[in-house]
C-alpha cells in the first residue's frame, strides 16, 4: 500500500489551468492507476514492487494526448473565417445531425473566451445539433478592462452639496466599452448574414456578451427569431434595460447560486412594461463534461425553443418559472 500513498493529486494551480475535459481525463486515469497499484500490492511477488516503481506520469500522460489532438482536429474542421471591415475573425460551426433542421444558434461566449472554455456555451454547442439546431460559435474581442456596475458609489448624504465633477477616467472607460460593443455588433451582424441560409436564427449570449443584445433585440434582422441571455453582466454606459417593445422573444437564464440584483430589476421592468415576449428562469448552468447527453440547461433551452414553435408568443413573464 506504500505505492498508493505516494500517489498525490496534482497541485491545485495546475488543475485550475486545465480544461474540464483534461481534468476529467486526468482524474479518471489517476483513479485507475491507484486501483491497479493497490491490486499489485495485495500480491507480494517480486514483480509487484518493480511494477509499482514505474513512474505514474508515463502511464497517465499517454492516453490524454490523443484527446487533445482530437479536439484540435475537431476545432480545425469546424473553423470558418468571416470578414468585417477588412478584419477576419473565426466562427466554429457544428451542423445539425437531426432531421428536419430547425435553424441555428449563434453562440456568443463572454469575455472573449476560448471556444471550449465556457461550460454553458459548450454544452449547448455540443448537444443542440442532435435536436435539429446547428451551432455557430462567434469569437468576440475581450471587453476593455473595467469593473461592471456603477462607475461611482452613491453620494454620502453628509458630504458637501457641491455638484460632482465628471470623472475623466470613467468617461474614457465608457467610450472604450462603446467602441468595443460597436466592433462586436459588427461581427454579430456579419455572422447573422452568413448563417441566414440555416433558417431561423437564435442569438445566445453569456456574461459580458449579453450586454451586446439588450439594445440589439429592439430591431433584429428578419432572420433572427429569438434571443437567449445567460447570466448577463451589466457594463457602465451600455444599455442594461430591455427596449419598450421587444422585436423577438427573449429568454434570460440566471444561475441561482449567484446574486442577481440586476436580473430582478430587469424582471420588474419587463413586468411594468408588459413585455410578454420576455421570460426569466432560474436554472443551474453547470458543470458539464464531454460525453454528457443531457443537461438541465440544454433541456431548458430546448423546451423554450419548442414553445416558440407551438405559440406565436412564449409563456408570459408573469407565469411561474419552472425549477
Per-residue burial over 284-299, b if 16 or more Cβ lie within 10 Å, else e, is: ebeebeeeeeebebbe
User: What percent of the chain shows pLDDT beyond 90?
Assistant: 27
**Mean pLDDT, range 249-267, rounded to an integer:** 83
Outline where 164-256 has alpha helix (H): 168-195
pLDDT reading at 2 higher than 60: no
Mean pLDDT, rounded, of the chain: 73
37-63 pLDDT, tens digit per residue, is 444 444 444 444 444 455 555 444 444
Structural domains in the chain plus CATH codes = 2-70 (no CATH), 85-145+167-310 (3.40.50.1820)
What does the alpha-carbon distance between residue 313 and residue 315 come to, in Å, rounded to a whole number? 7
pLDDT band of 191, cuts 50, 70, 90: very high
Report how far apart the first and last C-alpha atoms of the chain are (Å, whole number).
46
Least confident of 235-244, 246-255, 307-316: 307-316
201-212 pLDDT, tens digit per residue, is 999 999 888 888
Per-residue model confidence (pLDDT) at position 30: 45
Cell numbers describing residue 170: 470613467
pTM for the complete prediction?
A: 0.68
Amino acid at each position: 500500500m506504500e505505492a498508493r500513498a505516494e500517489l498525490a493529486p496534482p497541485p491545485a494551480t495546475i488543475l485550475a489551468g486545465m480544461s474540464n475535459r483534461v481534468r476529467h481525463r486526468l482524474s479518471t486515469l489517476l483513479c485507475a492507476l491507484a486501483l491497479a497499484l493497490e491490486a499489485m500490492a495485495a500480491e507480494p511477488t517480486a514483480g509487484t514492487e518493480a511494477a509499482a516503481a514505474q513512474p505514474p506520469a508515463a502511464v497517465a500522460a499517454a492516453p490524454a494526448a490523443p484527446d487533445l489532438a482530437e479536439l484540435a482536429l475537431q476545432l480545425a474542421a469546424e473553423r470558418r473565417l468571416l470578414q468585417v471591415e477588412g478584419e477576419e475573425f473565426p466562427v466554429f460551426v457544428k451542423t445539425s445531425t437531426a432531421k428536419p433542421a430547425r435553424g441555428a444558434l449563434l453562440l456568443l461566449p463572454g469575455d472573449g473566451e476560448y471556444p471550449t472554455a465556457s461550460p454553458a456555451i459548450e454544452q449547448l454547442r455540443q448537444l443542440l445539433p442532435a435536436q435539429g439546431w446547428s451551432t455557430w460559435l462567434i469569437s468576440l474581442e475581450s471587453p476593455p478592462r473595467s469593473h461592471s456596475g456603477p462607475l461611482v458609489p452613491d453620494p454620502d448624504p453628509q458630504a458637501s452639496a457641491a455638484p460632482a465633477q465628471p470623472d475623466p477616467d470613467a468617461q474614457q472607460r465608457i467610450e472604450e466599452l462603446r467602441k468595443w460593443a460597436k466592433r462586436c455588433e459588427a461581427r454579430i451582424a456579419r455572422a447573422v448574414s452568413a448563417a441566414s441560409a440555416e433558417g431561423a436564427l437564435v442569438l445566445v449570449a453569456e456574461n459580458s456578451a449579453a450586454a451586446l443584445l439588450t439594445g440589439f433585440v429592439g430591431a433584429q434582422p428578419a432572420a433572427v427569431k429569438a434571443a437567449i441571455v445567460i447570466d448577463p453582466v451589466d457594463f457602465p454606459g451600455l444599455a442594461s434595460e430591455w427596449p419598450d417593445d421587444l422585436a423577438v422573444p427573449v429568454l434570460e437564464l440566471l444561475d441561482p447560486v449567484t446574486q442577481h440584483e440586476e436580473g430582478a430589476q430587469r424582471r420588474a421592468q419587463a413586468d411594468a412594461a408588459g413585455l410578454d415576449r420576455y421570460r426569466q428562469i432560474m436554472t443551474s448552468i453547470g458543470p458539464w463534461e464531454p460525453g454528457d447527453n443531457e443537461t438541465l440547461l440544454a433541456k431548458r433551452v430546448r423546451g423554450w425553443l419548442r414553445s416558440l414553435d407551438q405559440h406565436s408568443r412564449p409563456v408570459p413573464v408573469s407565469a411561474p418559472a419552472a425549477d
